[in-house]
Structure 1
């Protein structure tokens, strides 16, 4: 029984145990459900506003032609009512773009899109009939 090196088997086992312990300590306790942020549900009004401002920007960037994008309202993911909102917003945005520039047109689409979508979805569902 001398003071020579430890047998290889014991050293490898100690190293593996140390690595496992370090890994477990580094991970910490698993997160609980109360630590997770609450999921956000997009309201119909928010979705409408996002769609209107997005597509108004795309159409304005494409030029003066109403069909410059080459998509109909269904391909854009819009309902018939949302398409009417988009058309009304674009009419005002084009006037803004001609008189005050592209930045004013973008501000108009965001403001007017939000206003019109809020009115349309004021009860949480579209007002009017199903079509």
Structure 2
């Protein structure tokens, strides 16, 4: 669920339809960091391959980053 929200917000930021700061995105710091990393990864792809390819990059990046962040049950759990 979190990945879907983060990916949606990241696509908005990439497309220029969202302001893009953490508070306006409504995301805690860790998820906002994932959003920023995904948008940074997608920008050059958009320039070379178009918006659809950039949105695909965002989806993959966010899913992988959220899974890694929460693989131990939550961002604060585990060593």
- Please say whether Structure 1 and Structure 2 have the same fold, judged by a TM-score greater than 0.5: yes
Pairing 1:98–2:50 present: no
Q: Secondary structure in 1 aligned to 2:25? A: coil
- Structure 1: runs of 5 or more not aligned: 1-45, 63-67
Aligned residues, how many?
77
Structure 1 stretches of 4+ moved >4 Å: none
Q: Which has the higher helix share?
A: 2
Aligned-pair Cα RMSD in Å = 1.7
8 A contact 1:92–1:108 mirrored in 2: yes
Higher relative CO (Cα under 8 Å, sequence separation at least 6) belongs to: 2
TM-score where L is the length of structure 1: 0.54
Give me the whole-angstrom Cα distance separating, in 2, the residues matched to 1:56 and 1:78: 11
TM-score where L is the length of structure 2: 0.85
72, 77, 80: which is aligned to 2:29? Answer: 80
